[in-house]
Amino acid sequence: MATQVTTSQGSSLSQGSSLRDRFEAVRALSRGIAAPLSDADATLQPCPDASPAKWHLAHTTWFFETFVLRDHVEGYRRQDERWAYLFNSYYDGEGARHPRAKRGMLSRPSLAEILDYRERIEEAVLGAFTLLPAPALHLLELGLHHEQQHQELMLTDLLATFSENPLGIALWPREEERPDAAEAMGGARFGGGTAEIGNGGDGFAFDCETPRHPVLLRPFELADRAVTSGEWIRFIEAGGYETPGHWTADGWDWVKRNAIRAPLYWDAGADGYFRYGLDGLHPVDPAEPVAHVSWYEADAFARWAGARLPTEAEWEAAATGCDPLAGNQLDRPGAVRPRPAHGETRLKQMFGDVWEWTASPFTPYPGFRAAEGTVGEYNGKFMVNQFVLRGGSCATPRGHVRASYRNFFYPHQRWQFCGLRLARDIR
């Protein structure tokens, strides 16, 4: 019989085969994502926001080595002390580290050496598995969710990297399919009152999703699908990027300073709009949810459309009852494109396809406490200047996201698969 352990969030997980299986499955997916990469592909860093694939592969492994093996397995000795300096991300509690903006200057260790490092750590973890104390298992589970986050980043960072290459590299073949037309946008109405949001369940959740707490909502309407690329083209062609009245002051400043005219990775030519993806350069599919827009753009689009972005509380309240596993998320390497909405009931595309910008800055929930120890740096110290996104994208590993999940980025960032869903007050 499996022993039950309690995480700091009060959830329980089964200490035994299932966590072990998930460990193996998550680690295998990372290897799969890396499979088509050359040593050089895995080494490049396109900008300070993004990291090399090799770095993601090593950093997620360093996380297990540090917080599980070093801290909880007696006599464990690091594979290479110097790698801790290279592969710590932002944990001040773990000491000095290689500057983030210089991660792309490391041709050594090679991809092969890092894959070998992964293997050795996996062996060490699996070898020690049955002896790991409960806190180590909690950290192991945290490490899995952490690695899933980096799987998504690996994909978006590779996209940023290859988008710099004028040869138009297709890392994966394009899946051919009949393009669907977009369904007309409908809306679901929600009454006001008190709702509970935040994670209070048994499963894993990050500290920033807690504590579960009541919020007051006013009656609102939420669109039943994400805004599409076709709708975005209408915004462009209506002068959306040239009309200051649609924009916040900072957004307008950002548009002018960076000469923004379309979503990231879009290219406008005489033949229409094209979008670069990891499957190459292709015409924009007007039915797919628009991706790679910043908060500034999402907010301006909503204002142009006579709507607004939902708050994260509205989004989460509306998502109750939606199935996180029903969406278009990553379940194997390569499948990273938002897809036209298909006919679900009430609300479509709540999970998967694109992260949906909300109107809510990322702030602590009332009564929030960061996790103990160095992993307390995981979320809390980022609770300023960023906005919450909800729902996961086509690059989010299946099973990773949930209704209470809070992703966060700066309002100018758009290298993630970020899109939006419209909301309106009901008066």
Q: Cβ 36 to its own copies, closest distance in Å?
A: 11
Closer to its own copies by CB, 177 or 253: give it.
253
Q: Cβ 419 to its own copies, closest distance in Å?
A: 18
Q: Cβ 244 to its own copies, closest distance in Å?
A: 4
Q: Cβ 135 to its own copies, closest distance in Å?
A: 21
Q: Cβ 101 to its own copies, closest distance in Å?
A: 11
Query: Could you give the angle at the alpha carbon of 396 between the alpha carbons of 392 and 402, nearest 5°?
Result: 45
Q: Cβ 45 to its own copies, closest distance in Å?
A: 9
List contacts with its own copies (CB under 8 A): 38-44, 46, 82, 85-86, 90, 92-93, 98, 102, 104-111, 161-162, 164-167, 169, 194, 213-216, 218, 244-245, 247-252, 295-296, 299, 359-361, 363-364, 366-367, 381-385, 411, 425, 427
Closer to its own copies by CB, 21 or 242: give it.
242
Q: Work out the number of other CB atoms within 10 angstroms of the CB of residue 406.
A: 21
Closer to its own copies by CB, 256 or 282: give it.
256
Q: Cβ 43 to its own copies, closest distance in Å?
A: 4
Q: Cβ 44 to its own copies, closest distance in Å?
A: 5
Closer to its own copies by CB, 43 or 349: give it.
43
Closer to its own copies by CB, 102 or 332: give it.
102
- Which residues are CB-contacts of 240 (< 8 A; sequence separation ≥ 6)? 246, 300, 301, 304
Closer to its own copies by CB, 172 or 252: give it.
252
Q: Cβ 8 to its own copies, closest distance in Å?
A: 17
Closer to its own copies by CB, 1 or 384: give it.
384
Closer to its own copies by CB, 86 or 293: give it.
86
Closer to its own copies by CB, 90 or 325: give it.
90
How long is the chain? Answer: 427
- Which residues are CB-contacts of 202 (< 8 A; sequence separation ≥ 6)? 10, 11, 12
The burial class, CB within 10 Å (0-12 / 13-18 / 19+), for 308 is: middle
